[in-house]
Every structure is written in C-alpha cells, then in structure tokens.
C-alpha cells in the first residue's frame, strides 16, 4: 500500500464507521426520493416519469403509431434511467394494465398480462406501446415554461423533475412502494370525485376532510367488486393518512349456482378457485359439489360455484368463503409521498389536495408568465416591424449600402438590438411585403391577450377560476362513473367444524356393557346388531351426523359425544369410557340426539322433573356435567322428547297404577336442577322404593297415549284422558284393573302412527 499515491489528505480522512453510515444514509435517501415514493405534483415515481417523458419525446402520443416497447425502454435506459431494462419495462407494464391502473398512462399491443396473472406479460421485444389520451393530462403543458429541468443520471441532458400534471394523479392511479424504513400504499380514486373535491377546497380553503369526503366517497379500484369498509373508517384513514380498506367479490345467484362476476383488486380468480378446491379436497367444504371458471373476453370474471343441493344456505356459504379465501381482501392504506418541500411524509387527504393545489397554482402561474413574456417579446418585435414598414425605402437602402446596417438602423430609428436583429433576419422580399394592417391586427390581438394574462396573474380570484375551468375540462374529457360500489355488509364468518359436517341420518347405539357405535340411516334395528358375548342392546337414538349424542347416567350427569366420529356399526364399537369419564359403577339411563334448541322433559322416579333444551345438556369436558338432581332413593327416568306444537300435555304414571295428565306449561324450563313435582309420591315411600313414578310422556292434543303393562296395552284419546286430568303434583286417578302395573308410555302422534 505504501507505494500507492495518497489521494485523500490527512485532514479529509474519515473513519470506516462514519463512511459506512454516510453511505447507507445516502443510499436510503436515494431510494426514498428517487425510486420508491411518488411526488405529490404528478403522482409518479422517477422511473415512471422518465418513461412517460421519453415516450412523449419519441412522439408516441395517443394518435401516433405503436412502437416496439424494446425501443422505447432502450431510449429511457440510454438517456434517463440508471437501472436495468427489466425494471423499466415492469414499471411500463404496470402503467399499461387497466386492471392495475385506474387511468392507464400507456396503451399497449401484445401480451401485457392479465388480471388473473399480472406478471405473465411478454418480453418487451414482442410488445408495442404508445401513450394513452389521459397521459396528456400530465404532458400537455410540458413546453410552456412549467417545468424545472434537472440533469439526467450522466449529466448529458436535462429531464423534468416533476411533470406539470393538470389533475391530482397521485390519488387517481395510486401507487405502492417500499423504501428504507418506510412504505407507501396509495389506493386509486375516481377522477370526477377527486376533481369535485379539489374544486371544493379551491373555493373553500378551510374545508375539512369530512367536507371533502362528501365528494370523495372512498377509493375507486379498477374492479366492480364491493368496498365494504364503513364510511367512518374510510374518513378515519383520510384524516390520519393510515388505515385499511376491505373489498369483497360481487356475486349473483343464477339457476341455483353462485356466479362471481367481480373479484377484489389484484386478486387472481384462478387462485380463488384453488383455495376453494383445496377446502373441498380436505373435505372441509361438503356444501359445494362443483367449481368452474367460465371467464372469457365478454365476461373477464365469471367463477361458478355449484352448491350440493338447493337446501344449502347460500348466504352462509358465501360468508364462509369470504372469511377463508381471497374473495374478501383487506388493503393497507399509507398515504406517504414526497411533498412540495421535497420531503417524504404521511399526509391526510386535505393536506395532499392543498399541496397539489399549491403546485398547480405555481404551474399555471409559470405557464401564464411564460406566455406573457412571449407575447411581450412579440409585441416588441412588431413595433420594430412597424417602424421598418413606415420607412421601408430607407430601411432597404441602409441594408443594401451599409457595411454594418444593424448599428445604423438602431441609431436612425431608435430600434432595440432585438428589433434590429428581427428586421435584418427578414429577407428583403419579405420586408417589402410587410403590411401595416396585418402588423396592427396582430398587435391588437396580442395586446388583448396581454391584458387578459396580466389581469389573471394579478388576481387570485381569476387564477382560481382558471384552475377550476381547467380541472372541469379534464374531468369532462377523462372522467367516468365510479367503478367500485360502496356497500355495507355484515362481517364474514367462517363455518365452524360442526357446521361443515355432513348431515347424514345416523342411529347411535349403546350396549349394556357401555360399547358405543353409529349406524348410517334411521331404518336400523339396534337389537339385531351383533354384540360381544354377555353383552346386549341397551339404548339407541336417531339423529344426524352433525348432531351430538347426549348420554345421561344414573347419577344425573350428562355427557356429550360428537356422532360423526363414532365407530361404524359394522363392528361392535368401542368402550364409551375411552371418550368420557363417568363415575365408577355408574350406568347409562338415557341416550338423546337432536338440535340444540330441541326440548326434552327430564324426570326422576321420585316424581320431579323439568323442561330443558338439549343445548343445556351438552358438556365440553369428559367428566360431563350434573343436570338432574336426584332426591334420596330416586333414579333417573327415560327422558321424554317434546314435540313441536301448542297445548302440549304431560302424562305420568306411578307404580301404584295412578295416571295424571296436566298441561306441559305448568312445568318450569330450567338448565339444571331437581325440577318441580309432576305426580305426588311421599318421599318416605321413594326412599324405600315402595312407590315411584314409572314413566312420563309428552303428547299433543291430537295424539293417543298408549300404556304398556306386560303383554297388555291401552290406547287413550284426548277425550278419554279427561278422567285423568288434574293439577300438577296431584296423586292422579287409578287405571283399570290389569293395567295398573305400567311398564312404559308411548305417545302416538298422527304423523308417525
């Protein structure tokens, strides 16, 4: 190293730490200011601005012929952009995609990607491009003294630092970008809404965000999917500059199928179908039988979801899909941009529009000032032409004879240097053709224009009016209706595991030794199933596979088992104690199935009972929960399912052959407990088990009550039951001889008889 020449003086040396820190900070600021963030003025990042400017310089206006994208990008790279050609082309592609930009700046021929796969665009040698009509809103005033010019990356030529945008393009097309330590996520908006809000702020400078939100309803994405975020939440992120917004796919019902005709911004339809198909394959979406993608040129988005049957709740199904797929999407809002002061900051809606109006006012002022200077310069020359015309012979003579005619003309006629130069630049034959009328006519026109320009420049009100007129003209030229409707929707809710289960009919069977299994269908004879040696049928209940089986033991505890995962009835099942933990020595007295809202009458043979919902009997833990309190010496009776209907009756029978019938409404509805007295039995006789309630049933007014006593039975209709009617808690009336030893009661309803 000693033989190398010393370039840095000792006093200029810096530590490696300081050098690295400065290099990193320099790079960070370069990324923030010259790559990632848009400018409030034209809403473009540098690479986008360079592409648009280069295309305008190449003459690629909306009316021009298309040009190979490779040539366009080559010009950008060569003259303005210090990065690679792929980066420039990707930026160009983004500005050409109507599904990405609300108002595209580039008009492309060839494959520029699709909404389904935005990155599937062709190589740039296969595509052609030109500017769209809307690009004129950014470029129209370019050569009119409106732009600050800065040297390009290698200093060989100048480029515009900000394009003279005639509308707040930063809001219209939005942008996303990641810088060092910060990011930007600006959603697109509707041009007409933004223009009306800008005019509102122009006319009423003290307008708040709430005032502006009367015009700007919400972001407006290039899709007809619904914005479901509430108006208050939208106003909140417009106030702070940060927040999020939700979009949801739009769907209709057609011939029993679900047709999705619009999906959220930048969501792939193929990806959505993949997500739904994955749920179907995992058997987590039994409600759907088929999926189709019927998208074509006429219908860019048409996804078909076919439900399993017409009984499927489509609203609930779509709510599940919104919660579990990209059919509903949330977008981050971060209004971070480079302001007029050249600094990045997160800004509120009113601040963005105020800054843009300041930028626009300065641009218009510079444009008018530039034009005024041109007019004054031309008027000055016209004065010289008029002098030359009035003294045409003398002027021609001076030009022909004098060696330095310019100095002579200045001295003789009092012309300025510019006027004399202009006269001399005219050919003699054109000089001779000068006409006073034409000169004075042009002077009058220019003087009129000068007065107008000076009045506008000198009046704030006139300047506002001019800006307003120009904004309205742009809105009239490029404006359109809102694309994304605002719709208030309920929050999407995914199906629970239970709701996603199939609803096939099943019969749950429990053996005397406590082995449990489930048979498909309801036409099952549980007693005819095979049992282990020494075992036999005990209990059975019919229900559906999405319902739980509820077991009640002789201590009054209830246990819950999901029926869908019980072993098949083809085998002999499995011990129920492997799934629940009943007290040692207990046995099961009841097995129930049904919906959570179904009601059942729980009773003990002491003559007490109450009405409860099946949902109250369901327990989450293996040890179950206590639901029926038993008096001393009492046992659990088989519960009675309560049918739907009014004027229901309770029939109870005691071991002494007493029958009591009373309205069901006299019994309380409880979640757990002992209940109220159904039929009167002395507690002392219950303890010694001398007398007990042997059976209970619930029947409708149309039903028949069938009493089974050994091999004999008795059917009683409503009129015949009147003899046994009484108040709840009474002893009841004696049954006929031979039918007093009742084993069980059956309520035969007309629908099942």
Q: Which residues are catalytic?
A: 126
Spatial CA neighbour of 224 closest among 485, 596, 504: 485
Q: Coil, strand or helix: which one is 504?
A: coil
C-beta of residue 48 within 8 angstroms of C-beta of residue 91: yes
Order of strands across the sheet with 257-262? 250-254, 257-262, 303-307, 288-293
DSSP state letter for 724: G
- β-bridge partners, 330: 246
Place of tokens 């509707």: 190
C-beta of residue 152 within 8 angstroms of C-beta of residue 81: no
| CA angle in degrees (0–180, nearest 5) for 704-706-710 | 175
Q: Taking every pair of C-alpha atoms in the chain, what is the biggest distance, in angstroms?
A: 157
Helix (H) or strand (E) holding 589: strand 588-593
Any residues with CB less than 8 A from the CB of 110 and at least 6 apart, and which? 69, 122, 126, 127, 128
Token reading at 200: 């509102």
Distance of CA 107 to the CA centre of its chain: 29
Token reading at 190: 């509707």
DSSP state letter for 106: E
Q: CA–CA distance from 585 to each of 581, 582, 631 (Å)?
A: 11, 8, 19
C-beta of residue 600 within 8 angstroms of C-beta of residue 541: no
DSSP string, 395-427: HHHHHHH-SSHHHHHHHHH---HHHHHHHHHS-
Report d(CA 215, CA 265) in Å as an integer: 22
Residue 13 CB burial class (10 angstroms; 0-12, 13-18, ≥19): exposed
Token reading at 545: 């596979």
Any residues with CB less than 8 A from the CB of 334 and at least 6 apart, and which? 183, 184, 185, 186, 241, 242, 346
Q: Coil, strand or helix: which one is 391?
A: coil
Report d(CA 459, CA 462) in Å as an integer: 5
3-state secondary structure 666-711: HCCECCCECCEECCCCCHHHHHCCCCCEEEEEEECCCCEEEEEECC
Token reading at 430: 């054109």
Spatial CA neighbour of 472 closest among 220, 139, 217, 197: 197
Report d(CA 344, CA 44) in Å as an integer: 14
C-beta of residue 646 within 8 angstroms of C-beta of residue 579: no
Report d(CA 527, CA 646) in Å as an integer: 34
Report d(CA 221, CA 264) in Å as an integer: 9
Report d(CA 579, CA 707) in Å as an integer: 37
Place of tokens 């360079």: 50
Measured N-to-C along each axis, helices 191-203 and 460-478 cross at an angle, to the nearest 10 degrees, of 170
Residue 11 CB coordination number (10 Å) = 5
Distance of CA 633 to the CA centre of its chain: 62
Give the ranges where 628-728 is alpha helix by DSSP (H).
Answer: 683-687, 718-721
| CA angle in degrees (0–180, nearest 5) for 238-243-246 | 100
Report d(CA 687, CA 303) in Å as an integer: 70
- β-bridge partners, 385: none
DSSP state letter for 278: H
């Amino acid at each position: 190293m000693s033989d190398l020449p010393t370039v840095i003086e000792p006093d200029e040396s810096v530590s490696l730490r300081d050098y690295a820190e400065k290099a990193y900070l320099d790079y960070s600021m370069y990324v923030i200011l010259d790559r990632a963030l848009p400018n409030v003025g034209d809403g473009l990042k540098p690479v986008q601005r360079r592409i648009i400017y280069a295309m305008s310089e190449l003459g690629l206006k909306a009316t021009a012929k298309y040009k190979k994208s490779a040539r366009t990008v080559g010009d950008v790279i060569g003259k303005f952009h210090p990065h690679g050609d792929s980066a420039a082309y990707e930026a160009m592609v983004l500005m050409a995609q109507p599904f990405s930009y609300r108002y595209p700046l580039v008009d492309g021929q060839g494959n520029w990607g699709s909404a389904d796969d935005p990155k599937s665009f062709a190589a740039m040698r296969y595509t052609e491009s030109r500017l769209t009509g809307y690009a004129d809103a950014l470029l129209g005033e370019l050569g009119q003294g409106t732009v600050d010019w800065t040297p390009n990356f290698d200093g060989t030529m100048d480029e515009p630092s900000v394009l003279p945008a005639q509308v707040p393009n930063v809001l219209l097309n939005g942008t996303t970008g990641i810088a060092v330590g910060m990011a930007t996520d600006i959603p697109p908006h509707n041009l007409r809404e933004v223009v009306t809000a800008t005019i509102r702020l122009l006319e009423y400078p003290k307008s708040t965000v709430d005032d502006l939100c009367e015009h700007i309803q919400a972001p407006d994405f290039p899709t007809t999917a619904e914005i479901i975020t509430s108006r208050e939440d939208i106003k909140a992120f417009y106030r702070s500059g940060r927040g999020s917004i939700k979009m949801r796919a739009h769907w209709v019902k057609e011939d029993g199928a679900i047709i999705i005709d619009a999906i959220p911004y930048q969501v792939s339809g193929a990806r959505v179908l993949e997500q739904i198909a994955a749920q179907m394959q995992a058997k987590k979406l039994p409600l759907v039988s088929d999926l189709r993608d019927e998208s074509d040129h006429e219908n860019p988005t048409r996804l078909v979801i076919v439900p399993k049957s017409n009984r499927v709740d489509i609203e609930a199904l779509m709510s599940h899909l919104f919660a579990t797929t990209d059919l509903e999407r949330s977008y981050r809002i971060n209004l971070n941009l480079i302001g007029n002061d050249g600094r990045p900051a997160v800004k509120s809606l009113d601040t963005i529009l105020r800054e843009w109006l300041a930028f626009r006012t300065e641009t218009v002022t510079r444009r008018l000032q530039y034009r005024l200077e041109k007019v004054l310069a031309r008027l000055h020359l016209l004065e010289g032409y008029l002098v030359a015309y009035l003294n045409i012979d003398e002027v021609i003579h001076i030009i022909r004879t004098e060696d330095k005619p310019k100095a002579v003309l200045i001295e003789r006629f009092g012309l300025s240097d510019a006027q004399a130069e202009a006269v001399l630049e005219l050919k003699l034959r054109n000089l001779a053709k000068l006409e006073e009328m034409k000169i004075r006519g042009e002077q009058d026109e220019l003087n009129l224009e000068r007065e107008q320009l000076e009045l506008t420049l000198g009046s704030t009100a006139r300047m506002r009016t001019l800006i307003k007129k120009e904004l309205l003209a742009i809105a009239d030229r490029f404006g359109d209706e809102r694309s994304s409707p605002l719709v208030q929707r309920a929050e999407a809710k995914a199906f629970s595991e239970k709701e996603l289960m199939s609803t096939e009919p099943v019969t749950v069977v429990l053996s005397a030794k406590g082995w449990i299994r489930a048979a498909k269908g309801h036409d099952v004879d549980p007693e005819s199933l095979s049992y282990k040696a020494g075992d036999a049928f005990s209990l059975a209940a019919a229900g559906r596979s999405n319902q739980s089986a509820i077991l009640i033991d002789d201590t009054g505890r209830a246990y819950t088992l999901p029926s869908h995962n019980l072993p098949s009835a083809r085998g002999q099942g499995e011990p129920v104690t492997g799934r629940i933990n009943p007290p040692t020595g207990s046995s099961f007295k009841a097995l129930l199935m049904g919906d959570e809202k179904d009601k059942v009458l729980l009773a003990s043979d002491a003559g007490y009972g109450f009405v409860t919902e099946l949902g109250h009997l369901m327990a989450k833990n293996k040890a179950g929960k206590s639901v029926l309190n038993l008096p001393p010496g009492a046992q659990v009776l088989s519960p009675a399912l309560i049918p739907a209907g009014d004027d229901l009756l309770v029939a109870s029978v005691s071991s002494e052959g007493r029958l009591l019938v009373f309205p069901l409404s006299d019994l309380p509805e409880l979640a757990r407990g002992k209940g109220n007295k159904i039929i009167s039995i002395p507690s002392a006789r219950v303890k010694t088990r001398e007398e007990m309630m042997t059976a209970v049933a619930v029947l409708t007014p149309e039903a028949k009550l069938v009493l089974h006593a050994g091999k004999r039975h008795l059917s009683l209709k409503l009129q015949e039951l009147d003899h046994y009617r009484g108040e709840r808690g009474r002893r009841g009336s004696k049954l006929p001889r031979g039918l007093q030893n009742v084993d069980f009661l059956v309520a035969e309803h007309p629908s099942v008889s």
